[in-house]
Each structure stands twice: as structure tokens, then as C-alpha cells.
Amino acid sequence: MIYSFINTRCHMLPLSSPRRHDVDNLRSLAVLMLVPFHTARLFDATPWHMKDAAAPYGAAAALLRAIDLWQMPLLFLLAGIAAALALERRGALAFLRERVARLLLPLGFGILVLVPPQVWVERVTPAAPLRQSAPVFEGGFVEFLPQAFVCCYPAASFSWHHLWFLPYLFLYAALLALVSRAGDGAGLARWTAARPWRLLLPIAPLVAGEVALRPVFPGSHDLVMDWANHAHYGLLVVLGWWFGRNPVLGAAVARHLPLFAGLAACAAASWFAALPAARGGLGVLEVALPGRLALRAVAEWLVLLALLGAAARWLALPIRPLAAFAPLSMPFYMLHQTVIVLLGWALFGWLDAPVWKGLTIAGATVALSLAGAAMATRSPFLRPLFGLGASRRAAAARPARSVPHVPASQFEPPFAASILGVGLLDMRPAHRDR
């Protein structure tokens, strides 16, 4: 059924749709890595919605930092690449209208259905160490529901939790719709691609934004006052759009992959050495916060270049498991954290085996999230709620194309819809360790 779904989607696209296996595959891997990342949140030293009874564990913190360095930045960068391909196929207004239609309902559905169970298990488990919010509730989930929509988390319960990604992407979609009207920066792209060191120039604004804004706005995901994240992720989306519009940049990155991979390894190792042990690092270098912020931004961009180059070299071909996962990635993303939090709560009493417990939760999360995502793709009712667009039956009724194409991304930036008012919420997630 997964492959028939992919074939159905093929007939829904214009003949001009390019196919970027490297983007598809790299995105699928990044989405799948959300499972070990959020599973590690059960065991590390930073507050979260559910924690292991014996947390924290240093190994979990190290794993979390290793993934956190590149995962969300990569998803935003790839969102920009996919947006560039989408904007080439349609005008800016149609581009934004599609994003509104595809994500407003999933965002609302997730807030109403997928987030309240996470808040409830946090409220009924006061024994969990490092809980992210203090209120306690005694009672079942049905009894809790009236409180679930009292604003705002963490003082109250209404939140969008991990779905923050969607409204942020909508804001950046609006930015891209404006930027795309100014041209594609082809001349600058050719100049940049001519010398490998010029591909490092984006480090300067990334470092400047982090050093200037991160100490004041450490990260809240409340949309309105999250200026450090907006400067950082917004720039990455624009850079991704620029890379998507100018393949010469990706070709240059792939050509110099050994250089960027080596620099990335050195920069990442230096950042880990400077990061305090309490935050998952080694703590062997004494570096003040501004220096750590700068070092992290340098390491992040180098890792992103290395990942893009590696994908262009080794992932630019159909890979069946990743191709099968691509149409499931959006519902998988929406479901996975709720599953992890619920499993962490259900297994709260399982002590003295953190590795096996973590592996069990991660494995069960993959299985359950894939099953839920597959159900969503097959249900005409659930498909729009999970951002999957037209039903399979409606898609199959459309005229078939003689030369089918697969989109550059099945997780093509599902830009969120208008969230006026919701953006004022104080979601207050754990700050990114720098």
C-alpha cells in the first residue's frame, strides 16, 4: 500500500517536477532521527515533559547534543531547498495558499488531540525528576480535558509542544515568497561556488546572530519573542532556498566533501570539548558563552555542508526503505513525540536498565508511529488532519500523467497556516544547550 500511495502521488504533480533523491533521503533520515533525539530527552539532564525516574544520565545528554547540533538546522535548510523547487512550479500566492491549506488543520488537530496526552502524563507524574512544568493533577485523562485548553503552558496546559516546527515554517514561507521575487542570486551563487572557502561565508551571519541574540532570547518556541531562533532558522531556510535555486552550490559542496567533512569533525569535536559536562559535553576547554555560541554555529554549518555533500554523493538515488517512508514522514513527525512521552510514563517504574529501556521505547515508537502514519495515509478522513492533502481515491481519479515524477520532497515544507493569537503562547521548551 505504501508504494501504491507513492505512485498515486506521482500522478498529482506537474511534468516539470524535479526529483531530488538526495533531498528526499536526507530528510527522511533526519525525521527518523527524531526518535532517538526525543527518547534521549527522557534520560538527559534538561527538563522535559516526561523523564526516567533515575535521570539524568550523561550518555543520554551526549547523544542529545550530537543530534541537536545538526538535526533541526538540517530540517530547516532542507525545507528551504524544497520551497525553492515548489516556488518554481507555482506563484508565491499559490505557494502560500497551499501551505495554509495543508498545515492549518494538522496544526490545530495536533494541538487538540496529540498534545493534551503529553501534558496530562506530565501533570499526573510529579515523581518524575526534571519535569518541565510544576502543576500537578490527580485524575484521569477525560477529567483533565477541560484543563487541557486553559492557556498557557507551562503555568497552565494549552500548548503546541513539538508542533512548533509548523508555525515557524509558515513564517519563513512568507519570507521566502517575498525573497523569491527579488531573483535567485545566481551571480552570487556562481561566485561562491568558484572557491570552497566562500561556502563558509554564511558562518559570519550565523555567528553574529547567535552571539548577539542567544544570551537574551535563549529559545522559547513561543513564536513572538523567539528572536534568536528566528534569526537562526530563518537564515537557514533562506540559505536552503538559495541552494535549491542554484544547483551549482550543491555541486561545489559535493566536490569538496572531504574538506568540509574534515573541518566539520574538527569543529564539532572542539565544540564538544568546550561544552560543559553537565550539558553533555566534555568540559575540557574553558570557553566563555559567546565563544561556545560562535563555535557551535561554525560546527553546525560545516556539518550541514558535509551532510549535503554526502547526500549528493551517496543518497542521490532511489533507496526503497527511505522512499517508502517519505510519504509517511509528516504523520510520523506529528505522532512520534506523543508516543515517546506516553511510553515513558507507562514504563516509569522500569528502573536500573536505562539502555534497554531507551532501546525498547525507541523501537516501539518507530513501530507505533509508522503504523499510525500508515493508517493516516489510507484514511480519507485522517489524511487532511495529518497534512497529506487529497484522499488517495480522489488522487487516483485524476488523469494519469504519461511520465510520472516524484516531488523533490514528500515532506516538502508543510508550511503552517495562520496562527494569530496562538503565537502569543509561552511554550517554554528546554533551551538549546550552547
| The pLDDT of residue 12 is above 70 | no
Of 343 and 179, the one with more pLDDT: 343
Of 17 and 120, the one with more pLDDT: 120
Residue located via cell numbers 532542507: 78
pTM over 0.85: yes
**Of all residues in the chain, what percent carry a pLDDT higher than 90?**
72
The whole-number pLDDT of residue 304 equals: 98
Distance, in Å, from the CA atom of 31 to the CA atom of 24, rounded to the nearest integer, reads 11
Q: Which residues pair with 131 in a beta bridge?
A: 48
Cβ within 8 Å of residue 251, ≥6 positions away:
193, 312
Asked if 70 and 307 count as a contact pair (C-beta separation under 8 A), the reply is yes
Question: Which of the residue ranges 3-7, 54-58, 178-182 would you say has the lowest mean pLDDT?
Answer: 3-7
Distance, in Å, from the CA atom of 66 to the CA atom of 316, rounded to the nearest integer, reads 25
| Per-position DSSP letters for 63-99, written without gaps between them | HHHHHHTTHHHHHHHHHHHHHHHHHHHS-HHHHHHHH
| Per-position DSSP letters for 127-173, written without gaps between them | TSTTBS------S-HHHHHHHHTSS-TTTSS---GGGGHHHHHHHHH
| The pLDDT of residue 316 is above 80 | yes
| The pLDDT of residue 13 is above 50 | no
| The pLDDT of residue 400 is above 60 | no
| The pLDDT of residue 57 is above 60 | yes
Spell out a b/e string for 298-331, using b for 16 or more CB atoms within 10 Å of the CB, else e. bbbbbbbbbbbbbbbeebbeebeebbbbbbbbbb
The whole-number pLDDT of residue 98 equals: 80
Amino acid present at 299 = A
Give the Cα-Cα-Cα angle 109, 430, 57 (nearest 5 degrees).
Answer: 115
Averaged pLDDT of the chain:
86
Q: In this predicted model, what pLDDT tens digit does every residue of 90-149 receive, in sequence order?
A: 888 888 888 887 777 889 999 999 999 999 999 999 999 999 999 999 999 999 999 999
Name the pLDDT band for 4 (thresholds 50, 70, 90): very low
The whole-number pLDDT of residue 394 equals: 57
The mean per-residue pLDDT over the stretch 155-176 comes to 92
Asked if 294 and 200 count as a contact pair (C-beta separation under 8 A), the reply is no
Q: In this predicted model, what pLDDT tens digit does every residue of 219-235 receive, in sequence order?
A: 888 888 999 999 999 99
Q: In this predicted model, what pLDDT tens digit does every residue of 278-312 receive, in sequence order?
A: 889 999 999 999 999 999 999 999 999 999 999 99
Q: In this predicted model, what pLDDT tens digit does every residue of 341-357 receive, in sequence order?
A: 999 999 999 988 999 99
Q: Which three cell numbers stand for residue 103?
A: 498545515
Of 400 and 13, the one with more pLDDT: 400
| The pLDDT of residue 35 is above 90 | yes
The mean per-residue pLDDT over the stretch 70-88 comes to 93
The mean per-residue pLDDT over the stretch 385-407 comes to 56
Taking Cα atoms as reference points, which of 292, 289, 295, 291 lies closest to residue 267? Answer: 295
The whole-number pLDDT of residue 14 equals: 31
The whole-number pLDDT of residue 369 equals: 98
The whole-number pLDDT of residue 177 equals: 85
387: left (phi over 0), alpha (psi -120 to 50) or beta: left
- Domain ranges for the chain, please list them: 2-424
Taking Cα atoms as reference points, which of 153, 203, 244 lies closest to residue 430? Answer: 153
Of 391 and 357, the one with more pLDDT: 357
The whole-number pLDDT of residue 41 equals: 97
